[in-house]
């Protein structure tokens, strides 16, 4: 598995055993639940888990020590917004995205291109300032990158950006599509929508690399049983 990012398209029979697994929204108030998920993943399909860190929170020394320990255990860190909250709803596209997908989490959609570049630059610098491995991967909150190009993002220091449909290589501008499985169903209507999406993405995974994206409460939400099954399946993905 490539740390913190995607793989090139390969036939199913040649895939690595595990899909790329990530945990979103790693912040001081979620660390205990992140630890529970890391334990769950370790039991079912051991291996690296990319941790998507939100820097603009009230991090204590003990919180930072937990991040350092997870990084030392081989879990890549990635940037994930600054506060994970949009400061306002900007325009029709953002309003629709907020209503149907992200609520108030799509931080980038409230920003101009220069503000997005500044946010991402500050995000990566935070890791260096706190003696954490500087991440190669950046994942915008709710996978909503906003109105900015790969060329504009190169000075941020990140190598790749993940969106809902795959990974953008900032050096080349090349986009690699990948399938996405998720389990964050907190409401009744989200459950069937996610089940359908996961089934479709399972089919897409025949030709594209597969990602499993977790959020800190997923193992306590209604699709927890599906999450367990996917983790078990991931341990023997080539079977």
pLDDT digits (tens, 9 = 90+) for 191-214: 898 999 999 999 999 889 999 999
Question: To the nearest 5 percent, what fractions of the chain are helix, strand and coil?
Answer: 45, 15, 40
In the prediction, which pLDDT does 216 show? 96
**What are the tokens at 68?**
């350092």
Q: How would you list the strands of the sheet with 175-177, edge to edge?
A: 175-177, 166-169, 160-163, 137-138, 77-79, 50-53, 20-26, 210-214, 179-182
In the prediction, which pLDDT does 230 show? 92
Which strand (E) or helix (H) includes residue 41?
helix 31-44
Alpha-carbon distance of 128 to 134, in angstroms, equals 6
**What are the tokens at 7?**
């793989």
In the prediction, which pLDDT does 103 show? 59
With bands split at pLDDT 50, 70 and 90, how would you rate the model's confidence at 185?
confident
The domain ranges of the chain are 19-235
> Does the structure show a pLDDT above 90 at 125?
yes
> Does the structure show a pLDDT above 50 at 100?
no
Architecture of domain 19-235: Alpha-Beta Barrel (3.20)
**What are the tokens at 125?**
């610098």
Report the mean per-residue pLDDT for the chain.
Answer: 86
User: How large a percentage of the chain has pLDDT more than 90?
Assistant: 71
In the prediction, which pLDDT does 187 show? 76
Q: Which residues contact 205 (CB under 8 A, 6 or more apart)?
A: 12, 19, 179
> Does the structure show a pLDDT above 90 at 114?
yes
């Amino acid at each position: 598995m490539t740390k913190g990012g995607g793989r090139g398209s390969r036939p199913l029979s040649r895939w690595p055993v595990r899909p790329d697994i990530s945990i979103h929204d790693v912040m001081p108030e979620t660390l205990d639940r992140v630890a529970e998920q890391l334990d769950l993943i370790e039991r079912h399909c051991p291996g690296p888990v990319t941790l998507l860190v939100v820097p603009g929170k009230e991090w204590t020394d003990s919180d930072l020590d937990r991040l350092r320990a997870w990084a030392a255990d081989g879990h890549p860190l990635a940037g994930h917004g600054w506060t994970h909250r949009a400061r306002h709803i900007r325009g029709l596209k953002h309003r629709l995205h907020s209503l149907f997908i992200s609520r108030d989490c799509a931080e980038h959609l409230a920003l101009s291109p220069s503000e997005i570049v500044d946010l991402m630059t500050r995000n990566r610098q935070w890791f260096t300032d706190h003696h954490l491995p500087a991440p190669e991967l950046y994942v915008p909150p709710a996978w909503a990158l906003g109105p900015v190009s790969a060329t504009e993002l190169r000075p941020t220091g990140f190598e790749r950006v993940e969106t809902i449909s795959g990974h953008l290589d900032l050096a080349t501008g090349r986009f690699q599509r990948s399938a996405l499985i998720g389990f964050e169903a907190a409401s009744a209507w989200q459950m069937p929508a996610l089940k359908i999406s996961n089934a479709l993405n399972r089919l897409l995974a025949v030709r594209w690399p597969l990602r499993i994206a977790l959020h800190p409460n997923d193992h306590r939400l209604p699709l927890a049983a599906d999450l367990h099954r996917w983790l078990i399946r991931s341990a023997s993905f080539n079977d």
